[in-house]
Amino acid sequence: MANVGFVGLGIMGAPMAGHLIDAGHTLYLYDVKPVPAELTGKGGVACASGTEVAKNADIIITMVPDTPHVAAALFGENGIAAGLSAGKIVVDMSSIAPVETKEFAKKINELGCDYLDAPVSGGEVGAKAASLTIMVGGPDGAFATVKPLFEKMGKNITLVGGNGDGQTTKVANQIIVALNILAVGEALLFASKAGADPAKVRQALMGGFANSRILEVHGERMINRTFNPGFRIELHQKDLNLALNGARQMQMALPSTALAQQLFSTCAANGGSAWDHSALVKALELMANHTVAPDA
């Protein structure tokens, strides 16, 4: 069993850390908010800082919202880097910028430690079910060491390449998810305004080539009007910003991604930054003067 540090215990990090405790690992925990009692109650050790976590753990995982949060967790006052010693492994499972990821990895390597970027897909549901997809960038040896921990948190685990490649894969994932949400939203809204029952349309489509996890999960949310967040619009906006900024740097166009971002911005302008990203359909509904289904 490993001594594992976990920094960032929000709606994703808390269940992920819980799975590692359940598997018998010793967890050293830190968050800017109080460590959840459910984790300390089953053996997790609350720490006063990231530095304390890093001093006690051999593998340190971060799961925080955005690039600046990772920078602060690693290199800020009382951060993880200050507690590292040679031979440890830092694993960032946040979804952040690939370019900065490579810079973070270089700084951690200079301390004699390995670095893996290992962002996830699957949202809160996947975190709770330990069914996350995990996209990893970094050295083979560190991946082999950490893979047994990944297997307690996810199902589809792939070493994509070197540092930064995991984050690049996650950005690609978020492009696909956003455009699928847009497609499902347009289709169900079209069907509903045409007079068809969107629930029955969805049921029929799920038996054919148009089926997808987005149609299954988020199509149901659109019909049932359940937009409490599994993955907040503001977080998906952050990910699409990474895509659009990267595309600009590479001098390429992502026109459909830009459209999805504008629709998310429409939701945000109407108070929806914290809605689930399936609520992108609400921007389409505003333009159609029609809802997929009546609001509860």
293 lies in a domain?
no
**Domain co-membership, 157 together with 52:** yes
Sign (positive or negative) of CA dihedral 57, 60, 61, 67: positive
- CATH number for the domain spanning 15: value is 3.40.50.720
127 lies in a domain?
yes
3-state SS string over the chain? CCEEEEECCCCCHHHHHHHHHHCCCEEEEECCCCCCHHHHCCCCEECCCHHHHHHHCCEEEECCCCHHHHHHHHHCCCCHHHHCCCCCEEEECCCCCHHHHHHHHHHHHHCCCEEEECCEECHHHHHHHCCEEEEEECCHHHHHHHHHHHHHHEEEEEEEECCCHHHHHHHHHHHHHHHHHHHHHHHHHHHHHCCCCHHHHHHHHCCCCCCCHHHHHHHHHHHHCCCCCCCEHHHHHHHHHHHHHHHHHCCCCCHHHHHHHHHHHHHHHCCCCCCEHHHHHHHHHHHHCCCCCCCC
pTM for the complete prediction? Answer: 0.91
**Domain co-membership, 157 together with 28:** yes
Flag whether pLDDT at 251 surpasses 80: yes
131 lies in a domain?
yes
Q: Domain boundary residue among 101, 135, 161? A: 161
> What's the total number of domains in the chain?
2
Give the domain extent around 180.
169-288
Residue 123's pLDDT is 85
Residue 263's pLDDT is 98
Residue entry with tokens 């690992």: 25
**Domain co-membership, 53 together with 151:** yes
**Domain co-membership, 179 together with 148:** no
68 lies in a domain?
yes
| Angle ∠(5,64,39) on CA atoms, nearest 5 | 45
294 lies in a domain?
no
**Domain co-membership, 151 together with 221:** no
Candidate list 88, 128, 170, 282, residue with the active-site label: 170
pLDDT tens track for 7-52: 999 999 999 999 999 999 999 999 999 999 999 999 999 999 999 9
Q: Domain boundary residue among 111, 127, 161? A: 161
pLDDT tens track for 171-204: 999 999 999 999 999 999 999 999 999 999 999 9
296 lies in a domain?
no
pLDDT tens track for 107-137: 999 999 999 999 999 888 899 999 999 999 9
Q: Domain boundary residue among 142, 161, 180? A: 161
**Domain co-membership, 140 together with 178:** no
pLDDT bin (cut points 50, 70, 90) of residue 232 is very high
Residue 125's pLDDT is 87
Residue 122's pLDDT is 87
**Domain co-membership, 180 together with 139:** no
- CATH number for the domain spanning 224: value is 1.10.1040.10
**Domain co-membership, 45 together with 143:** yes
pLDDT tens track for 142-156: 999 999 999 999 999
- Residue 200 is among the residues annotated as catalytic for this protein: no
Dig out the tokens for 153 from the structure.
Answer: 């948190």
Residue 67's pLDDT is 94
**Domain co-membership, 129 together with 181:** no
pLDDT tens track for 92-109: 999 999 999 999 999 999
What integer best gives the mean pLDDT of the chain?
97
